């Protein structure tokens, strides 16, 4: 999924927080910035005025405007024209400084959004850089139920009818929290971090066959739902027909569990597969999977410890 944002959307999202005012270039409201344009940009999405490696949002502070004032008339005109040729998403003048008339005219003629803000330059830089990075980060929608279990984000996946929502409801009654049902959205907000959220349409809702749509917040209270969580583990529910008839589990799998990895936005997420069979308490097994993952993250591996103990026992028993 390719994320994008228009100048108008960015203005509307940050207008109140940064006290933005549109000074010129309103004809460029639909100017678009797409995530594919941000992969190899130098130096960043938002930054102080740069005409060598231009930012997509150019911030003009006191020093930048003073530098423009020091240029002779011809060089100043060429510099402003060059800034507009780069087609930035927007120009932002900090501290509500008086904006030069030639800059206003150039922005209006080129339909380049020009905004004014009373905020200092570093405040504009921090807010805009963070906001754009999140809005344009790679994202994907997966099928499953995303929950917080023992403080870690766990995505429960499986075929339709495998019992994902029933398991989620049981976990909620045991004190865990729902993030999103059916279609959680995951955004790569850092090189190794996937942040999972719920689409606004599905917020607080859980759908179960026979019961329909349940509002978890109204049924169990505010503590039963969570706005977002980092994805750390995937628990996949596999029906019995997933396994070949008569097949015996691998010897190592009996010790380590049915472990694997799944790539989400090119990041490898640990995955454990739980067979769905009559009489199995999947809620307890999912809790145990989450606890085991937490232990492994701390360097505690029960299977490795058992194998080491077994090897030591054999060596001790060897004459």
Residue 229 annotated as binding? no
Residue 85 annotated as binding? no
Catalytic residue among 182, 204, 229, 293: 182
Residue 162 annotated as binding? yes
How many other CB atoms sit within 10 Å of the CB of residue 39?
8
Residue 218 annotated as binding? no
Return the exposure string of 59-92: e unless at least 16 CB atoms fall within 10 Å of the residue's CB, then b: bbbeebbeebeeeeeeebeeebeebbeeebbbbb
Tell me which residue has tokens 């929950």: 147
Catalytic residue among 31, 56, 131, 164: 164
Q: Contact, 196 vs 184, CB < 8 A?
A: yes
Q: Which residues lie closer than 8 Å to 190 by C-beta, 6 or more apart?
A: none
Tell me which residue has tokens 């003009």: 60
The sign one gets for the Cα dihedral 108, 112, 115, 119 is negative
Is 31 annotated in the active site?
no
Catalytic residue among 82, 254, 280, 310: 254
- Find the DSSP H helices in the chain: 7-18, 62-70, 73-85, 101-110, 121-135, 164-173, 216-220, 251-256, 282-297, 302-317
Residue 35 annotated as binding? no
Is 204 annotated in the active site?
no
DSSP 219-261: HH-GGGB-SEEEEEEEEEEE-GGGSPTTPPPPHHHHHH-SEEE
How far apart (Å, rounded) are the C-alpha atoms in residues 100 and 121? 18
Residue 165 annotated as binding? yes
Question: Could you tell me how many residues make up the chain?
Answer: 319
Is 182 annotated in the active site?
yes
Catalytic residue among 143, 174, 280, 310: 143
Is 226 annotated in the active site?
no
How far apart (Å, rounded) are the C-alpha atoms in residues 286 and 303? 18
Closest CA to 149 of 280, 273, 282: 282
User: Which residues define the annotated binding site for ATP?
Assistant: 158-165
The residues carrying an active-site annotation are: 143, 164, 182, 254
Binding residues: 158-165, 207
Residue numbers belonging to the annotated binding site for Mg(2+): 165, 207
């Amino acid at each position: 999924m390719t994320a994008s944002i228009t100048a108008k959307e960015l203005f509307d999202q940050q207008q109140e927080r940064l006290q933005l005012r549109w000074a010129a270039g309103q004809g460029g409201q639909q100017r678009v910035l797409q995530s594919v344009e941000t992969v190899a940009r130098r130096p960043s999405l938002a930054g102080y005025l740069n005409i060598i490696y231009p930012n997509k949002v150019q911030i003009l502070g006191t020093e930048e405007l003073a530098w423009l004032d020091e240029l002779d008339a011809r060089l100043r005109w060429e510099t402003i024209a060059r800034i507009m040729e780069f087609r930035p998403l927007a120009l932002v003048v900090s501290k509500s400084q008086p904006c030069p008339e030639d800059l206003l005219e150039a922005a209006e003629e080129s339909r380049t959004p020009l905004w004014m803000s009373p905020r200092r330059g570093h405040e504009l830089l921090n807010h805009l850089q963070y906001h754009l990075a999140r809005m344009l980060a790679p994202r994907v929608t997966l099928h499953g139920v995303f929950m917080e279990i023992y403080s870690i984000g766990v995505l429960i996946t499986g075929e339709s009818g495998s019992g994902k929502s029933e398991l989620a409801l049981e976990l909620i009654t045991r004190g865990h929290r729902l993030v999103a049902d059916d279609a959680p959205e995951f955004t790569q907000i850092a090189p190794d971090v996937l942040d999972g959220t719920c689409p606004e349409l599905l917020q607080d809702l859980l759908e179960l066959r026979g019961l329909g749509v349940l509002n978890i917040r109204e049924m169990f209270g505010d503590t039963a739902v969570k706005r977002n969580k980092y994805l750390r583990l995937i628990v996949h529910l596999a029906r019995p027909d997933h396994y070949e008839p008569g097949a015996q589990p691998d010897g190592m799998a009996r010790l380590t569990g049915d472990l694997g990895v799944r790539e989400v936005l090119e990041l490898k997420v640990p995955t454990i597969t739980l067979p769905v069979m009559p009489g199995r308490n999947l809620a307890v097994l999912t809790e145990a999977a989450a606890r085991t993952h937490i232990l492994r993250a701390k360097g505690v591996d029960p299977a490795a410890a058992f194998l080491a103990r077994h090897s030591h026992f054999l060596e001790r028993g060897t004459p």
